[in-house]
Structure 1
């Protein structure tokens, strides 16, 4: 008697579990001009394999060339230090900085928002020199095993007024549609991923504790452990 092999579905699940998370970054752009703080969100295109038709913050994976993007100002030392600390190994300054650069590049590509001064060279990968110094490192989340695509995403916060951004000027893109400002204190009626709801709750709590979102702060990491999402502080 021979034993039957696992069906194709089981093989696919095993392949999905073996997918390694790719570095990614997301920017929570905050508007605090009114009585309530708002965050910019948009809907992912229905053609996306990962999280289609869900509302998220602008962001995406880190590209190979992100570490070569010139920048106008560097990360706060505490933010750079926190980004570099990854378990038992440490990222280089360049790789950690590339995560922040990826986030601002994606904010420009998905929402038309440039954070920084115009780049002096027309051949630059983005038409501005990103200003990194006002970014706060807020959270890190790793997509659980079992997904066709997995990301190790770092979430940054940025106040629009500090970055000299006009909150009325943003553009939909092929990647992110129906961009809109969402009150961080309201439960959004939009369809959002579970992890986005968790990050929003963390953001609310952080703003209640310290409205300025100090750069010297413990950063929560969300990762699956034995089938459960576990929160630890970096």
Structure 2
């Protein structure tokens, strides 16, 4: 895997680092394996963003308070739900960790117009609901990353992956949004055509390594956790 062009997370806070509490977030790696090299969808964030400006990233964002109430079509596999609950040692409920996956697919729709899951009909869609019911069953859990202290935004982000050929996904409706533009399908093992944050590069390297060992990206693979301790980058395994 060649070294990609990396970019900083964003503007650091002025003065001493502030003890910002990380907010729960989720991101989705859409994987296209129709060619010899598996490719992943990334979009460029605006230069005006305070956090990760003018770089290509995976679709995603923070978990919203209402995400746990989103009606879904199929659930995450039970072992994955248990795994996510275990990461937080019971501090988050099953509903709360499921909301991370729901947030990933909600953000995907808001940022790309892509919908993973069956559409509601006009007659049965509840008021205020997404236009589709997220299908979580084929999501893989591939990484967790904690934004280091000293940035204007901090997130505890969980990264999920999904092969595009495992769900009914209409890629023809992909379109720019206020959050992301200039969408690219870049090789997981060689994302050098775009500028990406360092953490994105590290996650892609981990996913590429996992794909080499298991092209099907099994649901029970080891998950890296990227964070900083005493100023040193740490890569633990979950």
Could you say which residue in structure 1 is the equivalent of 2:213? 209
> Can you give the 5+ residue segments of structure 2 that lack an aligned partner in the other structure?
1-12
The two structures have a TM-score, normalised by structure 1, of 0.91
3-state SS of 1:17 partner? coil
Q: CA RMSD in A?
A: 1.5
What displacement does 1:17 show?
A: 3.0
Change (3 A) 1:211 1:124: farther
Deviations 1:34-55 (A, max 9, x none): 2221100000112211001010
Residues 1:145 and 2:149 are matched in the alignment = yes
Correspondence for 2:194 among 190, 193, 207? 190
Does the CA contact (< 8 Å) of 1:184 and 1:204 recur in 2? yes
Does the CA contact (< 8 Å) of 1:138 and 1:220 recur in 2? yes
Structure of greater relative contact order (alpha carbons < 8 Å, 6+ residues apart)? 2
Q: d(CA) in 1 for partners of 2:88 and 2:116?
A: 30
Q: d(CA) in 1 for partners of 2:133 and 2:185?
A: 25
Does the CA contact (< 8 Å) of 1:69 and 1:124 recur in 2? no
What displacement does 1:101 show?
A: 0.2
Correspondence for 1:218 among 219, 222, 229? 222
Could you say which residue in structure 1 is the equivalent of 2:119? 118
Does the CA contact (< 8 Å) of 2:114 and 2:170 recur in 1? no
Change (3 A) 1:36 1:169: farther
> Can you give the 5+ residue segments of structure 1 that lack an aligned partner in the other structure?
1-10
Q: d(CA) in 1 for partners of 2:171 and 2:119?
A: 19
Question: What does 1:77-88 align with in structure 2 at a 5 Å threshold?
Answer: 77-88=78-89
Deviations 1:148-197 (A, max 9, x none): 11000000000001012244441111100101111112142311000000
Correspondence for 1:232 among 225, 228, 236? 236
Residues 1:173 and 2:177 are matched in the alignment = yes
3-state SS of 1:118 partner? coil
3-state SS of 1:130 partner? coil
Could you say which residue in structure 1 is the equivalent of 2:5? none
Residues 1:161 and 2:165 are matched in the alignment = yes
Does the CA contact (< 8 Å) of 2:226 and 2:236 recur in 1? yes
The two structures have a TM-score, normalised by structure 2, of 0.89
Over alpha carbons, which structure has the higher Rg?
1
| Aligned positions, number | 223
